């Protein structure tokens, strides 16, 4: 594969796609322990046809971003949280957890090694970092692998769902609870079961699906790639409490930002009917940042939330404060931002 040339990048129109940068980190697990990892240049992974990941999908991943600050340095946003969730995901899929401090160190190494690919401040673009782990040893019977590869690559990305433009969402006719084959989606890996609903939603012109709780199909769970929040008619920030959604780091952070802004945030069950009647609503996640929800369509009936072409004031204020903290324009709570250069 051709390495990405820096001069070919248009920082303002990057999209959200894989690009082959000069360096990635690789560590291998063998004989019951993690070997010392290192930066490597080769972007290809060679596997046996019998590799566990190819048959039983033993794979987990994370996603976080590096932000170019106004002073030219680089910020990481809560990488310790990704390290922790990665370890939880590993545990759930019977994989050996990667030490959390080493994870953060490795992420920093990848960002620094590719630092000229961290997009300029003000471009709206960031360097997306994708750590993942796969079971590589051969497995014919269903059993956990004995050998694993961890890789961390990075790629410059624009906004996943552009800026603060409201998007249309559709309630998924499928359960999404089969992530990672676990029946619950708290951990992050193997999204294959969400591909069909997402392909169908995109074909129909929607930005993403909104999934309902798998037990009663009554409560809002989350979007295909982001958590849900709403602002009630009384002005309260509400977000679903559910056992079957990903523990979003953006959600955790926005709960604190919302508290600072006096929005009295709460995590609780939210019925679909209630979601339709929110004053404002949004999708929140590392890739989505905050993407305003313009409408939710359910059984061919569209419910507009706030506006299909304007973003509400509460959502705008939350977005502005979150990105100001991420880019280092504003000081966030202790430990949220790690600056490297």
Ligand X SMILES: Cc1ncc(COP(=O)(O)O)c(C=O)c1O
The window from 121-129, 145-153, 248-256, 325-333 that contacts ligand X (CB under 6 A) reads 248-256
| Minimum distance from residue 183 beta carbon to ligand X (Å) | 15
Number of amino acids touching ligand X (CB under 6 A): 13
CA-to-CA distance for 122 and 119, rounded, in angstroms? 9
Longest dimension (CA), the chain: 57
- Is 66 a binding residue for ligand X by CB under 6 A? The answer is no
Quick one: which of 175, 213, 221, 222 contacts ligand X (CB under 6 A)? 222
| Minimum distance from residue 150 beta carbon to ligand X (Å) | 19
Cα 14 to Cα 9, 118, 142, 159, 313: the distances in Å are 7, 12, 40, 8, 28
Q: What is the distance of C-alpha 19 from the center of its chain?
A: 18
The window from 2-10, 130-138, 222-230, 292-300 that contacts ligand X (CB under 6 A) reads 222-230
Residue whose token pair is 């324009």? 329
- Is 248 a binding residue for ligand X by CB under 6 A? The answer is yes
Whether residue 186 lies in the annotated active site = yes
- Is 250 a binding residue for ligand X by CB under 6 A? The answer is yes
- Is 187 a binding residue for ligand X by CB under 6 A? The answer is no
Cross-strand pairs, 284: 227, 290
Report residue 11 as tokens: 């920082």
Binding positions for ligand X, 255-314, rule CB under 6 A: 285-287
Nearest-CA neighbor of 226 among 245, 206, 244?
245
Residue 51 or 257 with smaller CB distance to ligand X = 257
CA-to-CA distance for 12 and 158, rounded, in angstroms? 7
CA-to-CA distance for 88 and 247, rounded, in angstroms? 11
CA-to-CA distance for 97 and 242, rounded, in angstroms? 24
Quick one: which of 246, 296, 314, 337 contacts ligand X (CB under 6 A)? 246
Quick one: which of 63, 119, 156, 292 contacts ligand X (CB under 6 A)? 63
Which one is catalytic: 115, 186, 252, 279?
186
Active-site residue list: 186
Give the residues lining the site for ligand X (CB under 6 A): 63, 222, 225-227, 246, 248-251, 285-287
């Amino acid at each position: 594969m051709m390495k990405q040339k820096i001069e070919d990048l248009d920082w303002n129109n990057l999209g959200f796609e894989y690009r082959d940068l000069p360096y990635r980190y690789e560590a291998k697990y063998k004989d019951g322990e993690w070997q010392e990892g290192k930066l490597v240049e080769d972007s290809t992974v060679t596997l046996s046809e019998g590799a566990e990941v190819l048959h039983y999908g033993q794979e987990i991943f994370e996603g976080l971003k590096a932000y170019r600050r106004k002073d030219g340095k680089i910020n990481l946003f809560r990488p310790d949280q990704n390290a922790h969730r990665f370890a939880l995901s590993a545990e759930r899929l019977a994989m050996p957890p990667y030490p959390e401090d080493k994870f953060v160190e490795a992420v920093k190494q990848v960002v620094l090694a590719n630092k000229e690919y961290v997009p300029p401040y003000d471009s709206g673009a960031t360097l997306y970092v994708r750590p993942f782990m796969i079971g590589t040893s051969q497995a014919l019977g269903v059993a956990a692998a004995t050998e694993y590869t961890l890789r961390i690559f990075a790629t410059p990305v624009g906004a996943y769902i552009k800026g603060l433009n409201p998007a249309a969402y559709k309630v998924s006719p499928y359960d999404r609870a089969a992530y990672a084959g676990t029946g619950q989606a708290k951990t992050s890996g193997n999204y294959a079961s969400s591909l069909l609903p997402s392909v169908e939603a995109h074909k129909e012109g929607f930005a993403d699906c909104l999934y309902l709780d798998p037990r009663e199909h009554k409560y809002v769970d989350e979007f295909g790639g982001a958590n849900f929040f709403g602002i009630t008619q009384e002005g309260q920030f509400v977000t679903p409490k559910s056992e079957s959604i990903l523990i979003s780091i953006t959600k955790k952070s926005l709960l604190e930002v919302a508290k600072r802004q006096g929005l009295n945030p709460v995590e609780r069950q939210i019925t679909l009917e209630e979601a339709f009647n929110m004053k404002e609503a949004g999708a929140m996640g590392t890739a989505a940042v905050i993407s305003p929800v313009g409408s939710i369509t359910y059984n061919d009936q569209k419910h507009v939330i706030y506006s299909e072409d304007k973003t509400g004031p509460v959502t705008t204020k939350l977005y502005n404060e979150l990105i100001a903290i991420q880019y280092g324009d504003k000081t966030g709570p202790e430990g949220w931002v790690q600056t490297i250069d």
